[in-house]
Chains A and B, each alone.
Chain A
Amino acid sequence: MKEILERRYTLTPFKKEIKGLKDAFRRASLRNLDSMRKRGFRPKNISYYEEVILGEKRYEELKGFSGRIIGYFCTFIPQELIYAARAIPIRLCSGFYDTVLVCEEILAKDICPLVKSSFGFKISASSYFELCDAVILPTPCDPKKKLIEILSDYLPVWVLKIPQDKTSSSKEIWLEEIKSLKERIEDFTKTKLTRQRLEETIKLIHKRQTLFRQLYEIRRANPYLMGGRDFLLVIQTSFYDDIERWIDKTEELCKQLSKEKTHFKTDEKIKILVTGSPIIWPNFKLLNIIEDLGAEIVCDDLCSGTQSLYNLVEPDEPTTDVMLGAIADGYLLSSVCPCFIENNDRIDRVLNLIEEFRVGGVIYHSLRLCQLYEIESHRLRLILKEKKIPMLTIHTDYSQEDTEQIKTRVEAFLEMLKR
């Protein structure tokens, strides 16, 4: 197998232990949870997800896990392959502010906060990142591309090169990438990804995705049943949680909500669609502001939200090649990541969500230094202007400094929508 990284200069990894990170994470999480608990109606077993997102219990559980743990970034990584090797995938994208500061000691300030925050965890040797035996990184944007190089000093890093578009030639390249990733995982975990195993895991993940869609449909029928933040919380716990337990709990949640249906029809609030750069726990600043001001986040097309569980891998038949092809298609084609040259799919997705959820306004979360999303907001704004749908762009990062500023802007926007 050809190695992508030559690693001519191997540096001793920079590490720095920082005390109190765990507590800081807990504090940030609890701040969000407190704000979320103000909501009148919340489903009963949401407390399970709260516990998972706090991470302490799950961390201990993973520490005791004898198999391999493989970290990944973005929505492009086929978790089927990882599960098929009896390893556990953990999504390492992070929204924690304190680790950004840690990272800024060695990296420049003008780098995307998501990368800095995630890498900060590695420097400070804490959280899930420390448990990972290997990391899979796609190449959607420049910061992630260079993160590959930097991380290669710390632990084995596998690269998944994302093509520039979704044409058939790109699809072939992408399929080759998936196949080589499969070989790498086989090599690393010393388990063969047989046809049966792939079939099983595809079914398992398919079950999770359909269950998520069920929840999504319940919320579409009545968005007030479950807050937007709670919805995102449920999604984001799936990045860390044991998949089978998550499925069980979410099945329970769906049952609970479908019983509840009738009571919440008259509750009218302003419906908001959140789109743009990923919003990851515990960086729920913008969401907290929106929902605390009385609006309802009914849908999103965030890659850390709906998009991470929405897409299905649907192989026509259980043969290895067709399954791998379906995996490749499932993760590439329906992605709405702005890393593609032409991203009409995202615009279509947003327009469809606006139509389906009868959205009042769009709030575009533009993470500072996330250029791709920032550039894309321009076209989306013009298209929405044509359709007479108001949109508000919020430039922000992980720090809490600008909370009040954003609050006034969002307040004014909501005020405008009310009229």
Chain B
Amino acid sequence: MEKNKIRRPMTFLRRISQILCFILIVFGAFLGIKKQNLSFLPFIEAPLEYKEQLKSEEKGAVILGPAYPQAFDTYLPVKSCRFLRQVGTFRACFMHFVSESISWLTPPRLLFSHILLFLILAVLLGRFWCGWVCPLGFIQDILNIIRKNFKLRRFFFSEKFKKTLRNLGYLLFISIIILSLLSAIPKLPWSVRKQVYLSVCQMCPVRFIFPYIGNWPIKHNFSPFGYGIFTMISIAFFLLLLVSFFIKRSWCRVCPSGLLLSFFNKGSFLAKRKEPLKCTRCGICVGVCPLDNKEVYLQKKKKNIDFASCIHCFRCIDFCPEKNCLKVYFLGKTLFRSKFKR
């Protein structure tokens, strides 16, 4: 047997992608990439920094809210996570955009290009971001790898609890929308609206990670009310994320951003297919799945094995011992297929 052969090519590629994306997302500015220069449409003038607007509001001026001059502001490069303003390059999270644009009741014509970009990416790739790009996913994977090397026990959520977490994700998603709408009530003074403004970021577990690794001096910069309930929630979510030391990808089961992308998983062009006859139902795919999904294992009637909670990490395809049983398609072409490994 050759020793240098990469036994799990997909996982290998994914780790490289995750590391690169993590560096870009968290420390991208240090690599000489200036955010402003990434502008794809430089002729559109950037609006006032809305921080300044907030200052002027206190003096009685009308707040316009952040404008969205570039499509890439929302999802891909340019705009970084708000906890990494100075050092990050882009963010993999879409919820901030949803929440913010609702809060400021941004007119749809301004959002059109952003939504279009999001739709294109989501339809093309589905939840690809969760497995290959998301820095939170990477942190969870790292935590799990540490546990693996210490040979500590791996735990599992029960099926019931997994369902509860998924429902919690829906609840979170809906409450974020409602809270954003609350913060958008025009007649309310800013001091009131401020309390629920950007609730998604206030509840995000990242609040206790990114400021400490990237955003010096550490600034949480949130509403006092938020420091109460929202901080409690975010601490809870942060703890849930730390649980991924024992249970793989524990936060991903709640994450509202992943939930939003998961709606596109079934129809996306990045697709998994299975030859039902070739599958011997050996159950290896369940054991290696970070979210311990059973869908790939259970499906024996249809070829299509795309489902909502898959994060496209393709570990099942890496591990599947049956030749040509599982395949990854992108835009109709086979990217990768399961092999028998010597």
Contacts and interface: CB of A to CB of B under 8 A. Distances in A.
A140 B286 CA distance: 25
Contact of B282 (A316, A320, A334, A348): A334
Q: How large is the interface on B (under 10, 10 to 19, 20 to 34, 35 or more residues)?
A: 20 to 34
A295 B319 CA distance: 36
B153 to A, nearest CB: 5
Contacts of A344: 300
Interface residues of A, number: 32
Contacts of B151: 195, 318-319
Contacts of B281: 166, 333-334, 345, 348
A314 B148 contact: no
B280 A314 contact: no
A321 B283 contact: no
A316 B313 CA distance: 14
Interface string B157-169: 0010000000000
Given A329-B282, A349-B280, A352-B277, A314 B319 contact: yes
A333 B159 CA distance: 19
Interface string B247-290: 00000000000000000000000000000111111111011100
Nearest to B341: A210
A344 to B, nearest CB: 7
A131 B159 CA distance: 46
Interface string A160-193: 0000001010000000000000000000000000
Contact of A311 (B152, B278, B282, B319): B282
A355 interface: yes
Q: Chain B interface mostly helix, strand, loop or mixed? A: loop
Contact of A333 (B154, B282, B300, B340): B282
A330 B340 CA distance: 16
Interface in A123-177: 166, 168
A214 B300 CA distance: 26
B7 to A, nearest CB: 11
B126 interface: no
A130 to B, nearest CB: 35
A347 to B, nearest CB: 10
Contacts of A166: 281
A60 interface: no
Given A312-B321, A325-B287, A319 B153 contact: yes
Q: Which of B152, B281, B319, B342 has the most CB of A within 10 A?
A: B281
Interface in A295-325: 310-312, 314-322, 325
A349 B148 CA distance: 35
A21 interface: no
B277 A214 contact: no
A314 B277 contact: no
A351 interface: yes
B148 A317 contact: yes
Nearest to A314: B284
B336 to A, nearest CB: 18
A348 B276 contact: yes
Contacts of A333: 281-283
B287 A311 contact: no
B287 A213 contact: no
Contact of A321 (B154, B319, B323, B342): B154
Interface in B306-321: 319, 321
A322 B287 contact: yes
Contacts of A200: none
A311 B341 contact: no
Contacts of A311: 280, 282
Interface string B53-90: 00000000000000000000000000000000000000
A334 B283 contact: yes
A213 B280 CA distance: 14
Contacts of B277: 348, 351-352, 355
A291 B288 CA distance: 42
A345 B279 CA distance: 9
A316 B278 CA distance: 22
B284 A322 contact: no
B244 to A, nearest CB: 14
A260 interface: no
A251 B319 CA distance: 23
Interface string B32-50: 0000000000000000000
A103 interface: no
A92 B279 CA distance: 30
A266 to B, nearest CB: 25
A325 B278 CA distance: 23
Interface in A188-240: 195, 210, 213-214, 217
A326 interface: yes
B154 A319 contact: yes
B300 A315 contact: no
A257 to B, nearest CB: 15
A168 to B, nearest CB: 7
A320 B153 CA distance: 7
Contacts of B276: 348
A330 B282 contact: yes
A380 to B, nearest CB: 14
Contacts of A315: 287
Contacts of B319: 314, 316
12 contacts: A210-B342, A217-B340, A310-B280, A311-B282, A321-B154, A322-B287, A329-B286, A333-B281, A333-B283, A334-B282, A348-B281, A349-B280
Interface of B: 148, 151-154, 159, 276-284, 286-288, 300, 319, 321, 323, 340-342
Q: Which 10 A-B pairs have the closest CB atoms?
A: A334-B282, A333-B283, A329-B283, A352-B277, A334-B280, A316-B288, A314-B284, A317-B148, A321-B153, A345-B281
Given A348-B277, A351-B277, 5 more contacts: A213-B340, A217-B340, A333-B281, A334-B283, A355-B277
